[in-house]
Amino acid sequence: MRRRSTAAPGRRSPSATAARAGSRPRCWSRRPRIRRRCRRRRAGAATGLPRLKYLARTPILVGMATSSDQRRQAAAGLDQLASLVRAQSWRKDLPPTQAAVLRVLESVSAGQRARQLAERLGISAASLSDSLKALEAKGWIERLPDPADGRAAIIRLSAQGKALAQELLGGEGGMAALLKRLGAEDLGALLRITQLLVFEAQQQGLASGPRTCLGCRFFQPHASGDRDKPHFCGFIRKPFGDPELRVDCAEQEAGTRQQLAANARRFRQAMPA
């Protein structure tokens, strides 16, 4: 005689439930959230990864930050450093633009016209005019007639301005204070990144003055075959490494657009094996 099931209508018997449960994975549940948690645990056990809570929701926990996050962090760091240096300049009663004018004029002993200064600094003529008036009132610069054009004037440092410019270039304040503890390898990496940032600024029309290696027609990146000194300068005809890259070179001559683009692509790549 066939035994009748004692299970309530619409429900499986205990034996049927047990048989079905035997085919289900461990930690099975009717709740979707619990099933997802179980799948994450099994995936972690299979790959050897630690069981991190909310792993699927926070990929940053396993080092999977997106490129946009990395760029945002880098931009925030650079903005903070720029603000710090700008604040230090103002504390010395020397606005950043005036300090930049002194640095540029110190590298050009014969002086420059106002238009050339504005191009080097990447600022408008009006902004530069206000800075030049302030520097002249302090006795740090002087205007002399231009021998080539009587209507123009040459701007150069006074003796007091030259001393101040040399103090700015070789002093312990501003960025110099932040770089004191960096070794040659770290400085080389910083100079390399600076070359790329200045190049991007020039490509976007934000700067035109910095005389970098990457913007020079004599620069040949990764052309020497020497891993310690991978680059080659066609002006001095010598190889050199990242720690010797220059951001303001007096001998720099701008290359053609095609040459600069090709150099930038090669410069971004690793040293050829």
Return the CATH number at 157.
1.10.10.10
Same domain, 151 and 190: no
To the question of pTM greater than 0.85 for the whole model, the response is no
> Does residue 40 fall inside a structural domain?
yes
Nearest 5°: the CA angle 195, 213, 111 is: 105
67 in a structural domain: no
- State the pLDDT at residue 54: 38
User: Is 189 inside any structural domain?
Assistant: yes
Domain end call among 129, 158, 177:
177
Provide the pLDDT for residue 53: 43
Residue 104 and residue 173 share a domain: yes
Examine residue 249 and state whether it is found in any structural domain, yes or no.
yes
Are residue 225 and residue 252 in the same domain, yes or no?
yes
Residue where one domain finishes, among candidates 153, 177, 201: 177
Q: Which domain holds residue 190?
A: 182-268
Q: Would 6 be classed as within a structural domain? A: no
| pLDDT of 27 | 58
Whole-angstrom distance, CA of residue 162 vs CA of residue 66? 47
Q: pLDDT at position 35, please?
A: 73
pLDDT of the chain, 273 residues: tens digit per residue: 555 555 555 555 555 554 554 555 555 666 777 777 777 666 555 444 444 443 344 344 445 556 888 888 888 988 888 887 777 666 566 787 888 888 888 888 778 888 888 888 878 888 888 889 989 999 998 998 888 777 788 898 988 888 888 877 766 666 777 888 889 899 999 999 999 998 998 888 777 767 899 999 999 999 988 988 999 999 999 999 999 999 888 788 888 889 999 999 999 887 655
Six-digit token string for 183: 């070794």
Number of structural domains (the chain) is 3
Asked if the structure places residue 73 within a domain, the reply is: no
Would you say residue 125 lies in a domain?
Answer: yes
Q: What is the per-residue pLDDT for 216?
A: 92
